[in-house]
């Protein structure tokens, strides 16, 4: 918990700050690198726009319940964990709270990071999405190496 809470709150605050900056300043797409644009979009679904076509009475409770469960799970699971695991779990929980905040206050999530290769665009995402995805992957790799199920 010692490493979880700072990671949790820092992720949440950075996510909200970057989303607010994107909303205030990205009136049109901005090319940052040949493969990276900053483009503000609003996502009613989950990652990659999944579930965005579900009717609101089904979609909204589901999209509010999942982050709450994620926050409770990561907080509980962080107890007694080491530094790296605590930080990664905090990144997941803080990212979940950042997207939950958007869903409750706006009814949708602000995404603005647009990776692309030529005309193929990866679905836009935000800092919360990146924190959650990267942390989950790192936790999986850590578990695989720790349990020796994965050998180089």
Our count of domains for the chain comes to 1
Instruction: Encode the chain (152 residues) as per-residue pLDDT tens digits.
Output: 899 999 999 999 999 999 999 999 999 999 999 999 999 999 887 766 666 777 777 777 888 899 999 999 999 999 988 999 999 999 999 999 999 999 999 989 999 999 999 889 988 999 999 999 999 999 999 988 876 655 55
- Residue 68 is assigned to a structural domain of this protein: yes
What span, in angstroms and rounded, lies between the C-alpha atoms of 15 and 94? 8
pLDDT at 146: 79
- Residue 152 is assigned to a structural domain of this protein: no
pLDDT at 51: 67
pTM above 0.75?
Answer: yes
What span, in angstroms and rounded, lies between the C-alpha atoms of 64 and 81? 27
Let me know if 56 is a catalytic residue.
Answer: no
Letter string b/e over residues 49-77, b meaning 16 or more CB atoms within 10 A of that residue's CB = eeeeeeeeeebeeebeeebeebbeebbeb
Q: One of 15, 102, 114, 129 is an active-site residue; which one?
A: 129
- Residue 117 is assigned to a structural domain of this protein: yes
- Residue 151 is assigned to a structural domain of this protein: no
- Residue 27 is assigned to a structural domain of this protein: yes
What span, in angstroms and rounded, lies between the C-alpha atoms of 141 and 127? 21
- Residue 88 is assigned to a structural domain of this protein: yes
Let me know if 129 is a catalytic residue.
Answer: yes
Structural domain range at position 129: 4-146
- Residue 114 is assigned to a structural domain of this protein: yes
- Residue 52 is assigned to a structural domain of this protein: yes
pLDDT at 31: 95
């Amino acid at each position: 918990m010692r490493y979880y809470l700072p990671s949790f709150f820092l992720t949440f605050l950075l996510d909200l700050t970057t989303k607010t900056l994107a909303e205030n300043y990205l009136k049109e797409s901005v090319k940052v690198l040949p493969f990276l644009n900053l483009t503000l979009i609003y996502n009613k679904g989950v990652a990659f726009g999944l579930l965005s076509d579900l009717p609101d009475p089904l979609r909204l409770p589901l999209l509010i319940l999942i982050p709450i469960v994620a926050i409770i799970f990561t907080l509980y699971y962080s107890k007694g964990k080491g530094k790296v695991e605590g930080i990664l779990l905090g990144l997941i929980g803080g990212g979940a709270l950042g997207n939950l905040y958007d869903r409750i206050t706006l009814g949708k999530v602000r995404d603005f990071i647009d990776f692309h290769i030529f005309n193929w665009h990866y679905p836009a995402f935000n800092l919360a999405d990146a924190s959650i995805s990267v942390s989950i992957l790192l936790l999986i790799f850590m578990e695989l190496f720790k349990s020796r199920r994965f050998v180089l």
